[in-house]
Amino acid sequence: MEILKSIDSVRKFIANQKLKQNNIGFVPTMGALHEGHLQLVKNSLQNNDTTIVSIYVNPTQFNNIADFNNYPNTLSNDKILLKKVGCDALFLPDSDEIYPNKNNLSFNFRYLETIMEGKFRTGHFSSVALIISKLFNIVQPDKAYFGEKDLQQLVIIKKLTKDLLFNIEIIGMPIIREPSGLAMSSRNMRLSNTQSLLATNIFKGLTLAKKLMTKENKISVVKEKTELYFSNFKGLYLEYIEYVDFYSFTPLTDDHQKNNLKQKVSICIAAFIDDIRLIDNISFTI
Ligand code: AMP
């Protein structure tokens, strides 16, 4: 596996691959890799001649400095995992080269900035869009892989790719979970055993909400019952739980079932356990 640290070395590597008419799959990550990341890499390996992964904890997308400082770094293990699955190249961007000047461009995703991650992490998606645009520009892949774990981010990246006319196919992959149901996340490394057990109630709550949606006619009743469920857990604080259309992210209303048969919907959660922020979602057709 090639380890590429400069933009120039990536461009040379990619040019060489394109000369051989190899198509390129790209998986951007922030490292501390787990099976959720590896499924993206494996999928890329299956469907492209060459797979390149990036590991970069992008400082500008953290609106909480402690979250950035505490973000796990397991680079030597990440390299072992990537080599083992057969990844071709690992790009480790350097901040000085990625951000040559301080006045960064910003993006405005309008409605998507007003809900869920957009609402609670001001400026986050602008920074995500900027780093992804930079990485797309450097790597110029044919396909790029993202997880539905960050569902709103996936919608943002699809929009970014379309609006900026990147000639890249965006592939979304399902959420990989621990046997307990907890969505895999690099931040899970920070949970104690007790906290990890408490965190399993996030997916349990989502599963309950999904079940309620098939039984109850009114979304307000589903919301009430789910919130009651979550109020049982001391130490698990819900930042938001939203019921939205899978594609547009518009909130579901009380008469969603009457109006939209066979609508694909998502229930999305952000929750805190101590200072550890976890997100999860469940998507299904009603
Ligand atoms: P991150 O390193 O957290 O920025 O994640 C890099 C990519 O992996 C993103 O596209 C995430 O959505 C995806 N990802 C992270 N965790 C999971 C998971 N449990 N299942 C599926 N995809 C995931």
DSSP string, 209-271: HHHHHHH-S-HHHHHHHHHHHHTT-TTEEEEEEEEEETTT-PBP-TTHHHH-TT-EEEEEEEE
- Which residues, listed in sequence order, are joined to residue 170 by a DSSP beta bridge? 144
| DSSP string for 43-95 | HHHHH-SEEEEEE---GGG-S-HHHHHT----HHHHHHHHHHHT--EEE---H
C-alpha–C-alpha distance, residues 5 and 32, integer Å: 18
Q: Are strands 264-273 and 276-285 parallel, antiparallel or unpaired?
A: antiparallel
Q: Ligand 1: distance of its center to the CA of 224 in Å?
A: 30
Relative to the CA of 33, which ligand 1 atom is closest? 2
Cα–Cα distance list, 113 to 68, 123, 152 (Å): 21, 8, 10
Provide the pLDDT for residue 98: 97
CA 35 to chain CA centroid, nearest Å: 14
pLDDT digits (tens, 9 = 90+) for 70-121: 999 999 999 999 999 999 999 999 999 999 988 899 999 999 999 999 999 9
Mark 111-122 as b/e (b = at least 16 C-beta within 10 Å). Answer: ebbebbbbeebe
Pocket test for ligand 1, best of 58, 149, 188 (most atoms within 8 A of CB): 149
Relative to the CA of 153, which ligand 1 atom is closest? 12
Q: Ligand 1: distance of its center to the CA of 252 in Å?
A: 26
Cα–Cα distance list, 27 to 19, 42, 59, 150, 171 (Å): 21, 10, 18, 14, 10
Q: Ligand 1: distance of its center to the CA of 108 in Å?
A: 23
- Name the residue with tokens 């929750």: 271
pLDDT digits (tens, 9 = 90+) for 156-209: 999 999 999 999 999 999 999 999 999 999 999 999 999 999 999 999 999 999
pLDDT band of 259, cuts 50, 70, 90: low
Relative to the CA of 31, which ligand 1 atom is closest? 2
pLDDT digits (tens, 9 = 90+) for 32-59: 999 999 999 999 999 999 999 999 999 9
By percentage, how much of the chain surpasses pLDDT 90?
92
- Low-confidence winner among 46-55, 181-190, 232-241, 247-256 (lowest mean pLDDT): 247-256
- Name the residue with tokens 């819900």: 238
The answer to whether 124 is a known catalytic residue is no
Q: Ligand 1: distance of its center to the CA of 36 in Å?
A: 6
Is it the case that residue 257 has pLDDT exceeding 80?
no
Please tell me whether the overall predicted TM-score, pTM, comes out greater than 0.85 for this model: yes
Among candidate residues 55, 48, 86, the one with its CA nearest the CA of residue 168:
48
Among candidate residues 237, 30, 235, the one with its CA nearest the CA of residue 124:
30
- Which residues, listed in sequence order, are joined to residue 223 by a DSSP beta bridge? none
DSSP classification of residue 31: S
C-alpha–C-alpha distance, residues 249 and 151, integer Å: 10
